Structure 1
Amino acid sequence: MKTIVLDSPTVFKFQEQEAPTSLQANEALVRIRKIGICGTDYHAFRGKQPFFSYPRVLGHELGAEVVRLGGEKNAIHVGDRVTIEPYLNCGTCQSCLNNKSNCCQNLQVLGVHVDGGMTEYLKVPIHKLHQSKILSYEQLALVEPLSIGAHAVQRAEVTAKDMVLVIGAGPIGLSVMQFAKLRGAKVVVLDINKERLNFAQEQMQVDFILEATEDFAPDALRSCLDGFLPTVVFDATGNPNSMKNAFSYVSFGGKLVFVGLFIGEVTFDDPLFHRREITLLASRNSLPQDFSDIIHLMENGKIDIKPWVTHRADFDDLPHVFNDWLDPKSKVIKTVVAL
């Protein structure tokens, strides 16, 4: 089977590998049909992805077809269209036993810690498959990135009373906007990229957009929110300066959620943190229920991912065009690769 391996930073190689043959009773063999490209893949390509080693087969945003089952009887059948929950948790650690499988102490993520879906066939646990009779493979490939935003919004317990600031209008920031809007919150978006801001306003119908200039101050937020500051701030940049500055944007008694991450330390002014009694949250991956909920919303027309997919490529072309997507001039929001 054809496989693309990230051999080292910036170096993709094609390999012919043997397709999996033996399956355990709890395993399925799937044929990968569509692959979403995300920030993790770009960071790995650049050599800047935490918890990563080379060589590695990337790909964890996946739309696939079930081609064989190991024997376990369940709701999944051969021929089903599925998305894959790429978080392989142990099931026995304290986090797993407390229904927090997304932060399993022994977690292995497809395409990050173990080889992922940039290949024709993949063997996965059956319980990690989420099926839809309605959604296309492309739609199913985008369930996982949507789930990151869904989980973050759930963590923050956003309601219609909240004033939400999303910092970073990339795909993860867009997913946060999507679910904050679904909960009825007022949403402001802050980014340095004018085109992404315009996309957020036109396609996500956020309430306000603000350009992040060097002299940006919280007063700009007050002007959008009737003199108030956001009750919930999501930072989806993974930029240390942005994450540090985010503390000053949170209202008294508000919440700050770090969705993005970087290799390093975040510092903040402790008196400001205490005086405002800010709740600081990290949001990592997502939970099985997030996948089920998103599929239901997509099937019922509550989420439309068509505007998100700005670029598409064939599997054989990926090594030749991947670097181009890193150029801001390419105006990439989300790329999907077809096998």
Structure 2
Amino acid sequence: MKALVCVEPGRLERTERPRPDAKPGHIRIRIGHIGICGTDYHIYGGQQPFLNYPRVMGHELSGRAVEASSDGRIAAGDLVVVNPYMTCGACHACAIGKPNCCENIAVLGVHADGGMCEEIVVPEANAYPAEGLSEKAAAMVEFLAIGAHGVRRGRVRAGSRVLVVGAGPIGLGAAIFAAIEGAEVTLRDTSAPRLELAATALPQARYELVGQEAAGAYDTVFDATGNIKAMNAGLQWVAHGGAYVLLSVVKGDLTFADPEFHKRETTLLASRNALKEDFEHVMASIRNGNVPIDVLATHETGIDEAVTNLPLWAEDRGTLIKAIIRV
């Protein structure tokens, strides 16, 4: 089968690999579309820690079941979304219903070979029926679920004032799902072109350049910058009694003044990955027409052409929200 392999940082190859073997309790999926994530660009650029090369990237996946699942949820030919978080099911986090932060988690395309290929085999529980979605839309569910999970963690409600710092795909996903909850959303970034691009997907939001911010405080602030300085600075925008939700994961130390943190009775939350209910919420929202899928999918390529296009997009994502690989 065809596979796109990152052989080493800065080097992609489209190769042939054996089709994966079937396993008990698993389901074979013929991959149709793959969303390219910031993690994939980091793997290509050599900035992803704790990763072994060569690696088949890709964890934003949709495809068709090759055979039916043993529990009858999925029939052969059904469109499915893949939950790429492989969990142990035995650790404390899994036992309390939080497999998104499993102590032994392995993410497809990062800790194990992923879905930039023609077929993949995953546990049946990691395949979700995606009836009513296009294959392209289904490949965008995973990254949107990360934003939806953060919004649920932050307990965003109708009428609340929400600030999202960082207008990349994850930040835009959080902004979209905060707006779905009825929040008044402000999206902030250092890049005017990125804000203009985000405004095509969520025109009802308010947009601000860093350095030109309006005064004010917010019930919930989300950081999606991937920048430790921005993460440390974000507390200043949280209203008294508000919440600060960190979607970003970076190397570095969080530091802020304890008196400010305490006098606001701030709730500080990390948000990692997503849960099944987040995937289901995203799929329902897409079916209901509440997510501008066609606007979010700005770039598309085939698996052969991705050898050339992925490196180009890694260098310049100024006009890109989400790129999709067709298989």
TM-score (norm 1): 0.93
Matches within 5 A, 1:320-339: 320-328=308-316, 331-339=319-327
* Inter-CA distance 333–274: structure 2 relative to 1 (3 Å threshold): same
**2:226 alignment partner in structure 1:** 238
CA distance, structure 2, for counterparts of residue 50 and residue 241 of structure 1 = 20
Partners of 2:194 and 2:318 within 8 A in 1: no
Secondary structure of 1:221's match? Answer: coil
**1:299 alignment partner in structure 2:** 287
Deviation digits for residues 49-106 of structure 1 (CA, Å, limit 9, x no counterpart): 234222211000011111124x623211110011101111111111011000100011
Unaligned runs of 5+ in 1: 223-227
What displacement does 1:158 show? 0.3
CA distance, structure 1, for counterparts of residue 214 and residue 266 of structure 2 = 17
What displacement does 1:115 show? 0.7
**1:225 alignment partner in structure 2:** none
Opposite residue 257 of structure 1, the aligned amino acid is: V
CA distance, structure 1, for counterparts of residue 319 and residue 198 of structure 2 = 13
What displacement does 1:292 show? 1.4
What displacement does 1:329 show? 6.6
Partners of 1:221 and 1:229 within 8 A in 2: no
Partners of 2:197 and 2:319 within 8 A in 1: no
Partners of 1:258 and 1:282 within 8 A in 2: yes
Opposite residue 297 of structure 1, the aligned amino acid is: S
CA distance, structure 1, for counterparts of residue 164 and residue 21 of structure 2 = 45
Partners of 1:88 and 1:107 within 8 A in 2: yes
What displacement does 1:187 show? 0.5
**1:274 alignment partner in structure 2:** 262
Opposite residue 334 of structure 1, the aligned amino acid is: K
TM-score (norm 2): 0.96
Match status 1:249 vs 2:237:
yes
Match of 2:80 among 62, 79, 82: 82
Deviation digits for residues 20-51 of structure 1 (CA, Å, limit 9, x no counterpart): 23331x11111111000011111111111234
CA distance, structure 2, for counterparts of residue 63 and residue 22 of structure 1 = 18
Secondary structure of 2:284's match? Answer: helix
Match of 1:164 among 162, 165, 168: 162
Q: How much identity, in percent, do the aligned residues show?
A: 40
CA distance, structure 1, for counterparts of residue 86 and residue 234 of structure 2 = 32
Tell me whether 167-176 or 261-270 shows the greater mean CA deviation. 261-270
Match status 1:19 vs 2:12:
no
Secondary structure of 1:65's match? Answer: strand
Unaligned runs of 5+ in 2: none
**2:127 alignment partner in structure 1:** 129
Secondary structure of 2:229's match? Answer: helix
Secondary structure of 1:248's match? Answer: helix
**1:150 alignment partner in structure 2:** 148
Deviation digits for residues 119-175 of structure 1 (CA, Å, limit 9, x no counterpart): 111001111111123211100000001100000000000001311000011100110
